Amino acid sequence: MNEGVEWVMHSCVNLSWIPGEAVTAKRLAAFYNLPTAYLNKQLQALTRAGILTSASGPKGGFQLARDPRDISLLDIVVAIDGPDEAFRCTEILKEGPGADAKADYTKVCVISQAMRAAELTYRRELAGRSIADLADEVVRRYPDAPGNTRNRFANL
């Protein structure tokens, strides 16, 4: 999995604590000492996916495009890592005996089905957790986190 997933999940949680204000890629990168240009690529992907909004020019930057309650971890994984599942069925049964050339073995093959079923539970789990969930949980454990975060961004 793309390391950018980790970066932008943290960035989205941080952005949820700075509502209504655009934060530049440079500052988001400086927060965790990440490579700016590369993080910017990931942020662009989130923008294309409708998770962030971006603005050019001075006072420009990125913000969450919607309520963090409506941004799931799956949304982010799909935006950064793409929609493909980890297990890719190459339909090797087509090379086996009694193969049906017209069959879609990605659907029919028992192994493919089992792997897809497992990935489905994974995705369901990720779909059930939102950026707001995570942010709330952080606040429960570390009440100062939002303040500390805003403070750090103010000094970048």
Contacts to DNA by CB under 7 A: 2-4, 22, 24-26, 35-38, 40-41, 43-44, 47-48, 54-62, 81
Choose between 37 and 111: whose C-beta lies nearer to a copy of itself: 111
Tell me the C-alpha distance between 90 and 84, whole Å: 13
Size, binding site for a copy of itself by CB under 8 A? 49
Tell how strand 52-55 and strand 61-64 pair up: antiparallel
Nearest to 103 by CA among 112, 111, 94, 95: 94
54 is in the binding site of which of DNA, a copy of itself, none (Cβ under 5 to 8 A by kind)? DNA
Using left for φ > 0, alpha for ψ between -120 and 50, and beta otherwise, residue 50 falls in left
Among positive and negative, which fits the CA dihedral 153, 134, 131, 117?
Answer: positive
Choose between 55 and 118: whose C-beta lies nearer to DNA: 55
Residue ranges in 31-70 that form contacts with a copy of itself under rule CB under 8 A = 31-34
Cβ–Cβ under 8 Å, residues 52 and 62: yes
Tell me the C-alpha distance between 93 and 116, whole Å: 17
Query: In whole angstroms, how close is the CB of 50 to a copy of itself at the nearest point?
Result: 21
Residues near a copy of itself (CB under 8 A) are: 1, 3, 5-7, 9-10, 13, 31-34, 73, 86-90, 92-93, 95-98, 110-111, 114-115, 117-119, 121-122, 124-126, 129, 133-134, 137-138, 141-142, 144-145, 148-149, 151-152
